[in-house]
């Protein structure tokens, strides 16, 4: 097994994980958007904002890779 084969297997595994993470993030974002529109947008906690930023980052990486 060459180094390229191993690298390819690892990247496939990472893609699958990223895909799962992106799917999860999409669900989390939909939930958070619903939650945020239900309450006032100014009341969004820093934790929620960090979650949204992290999810956007994961989605962008997923789009770049796929």
Domain interval for residue 12: 3-65
pLDDT at 1: 66
Q: Encode pLDDT of 2-44 as tens digits.
A: 877 777 777 777 778 777 877 777 787 777 777 666 655 555 6
pLDDT at 54: 76
pLDDT at 36: 61
pLDDT at 29: 75
Q: How far is the C-alpha of 8 from the C-alpha of 5, rounded, in Å? A: 5
Number of structural domains (the chain) is 1
pLDDT at 39: 59
Q: How far is the C-alpha of 54 from the C-alpha of 16, rounded, in Å? A: 18
């Amino acid at each position: 097994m060459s180094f390229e084969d191993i690298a390819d297997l690892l990247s496939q595994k990472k893609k699958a994980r990223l895909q799962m993470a992106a799917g999860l993030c999409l669900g989390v974002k939909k939930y958070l958007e619903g939650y945020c529109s239900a309450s006032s947008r100014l009341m969004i906690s820093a934790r929620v904002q960090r979650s949204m930023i992290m999810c956007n980052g994961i989605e962008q990486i997923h789009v770049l890779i796929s």
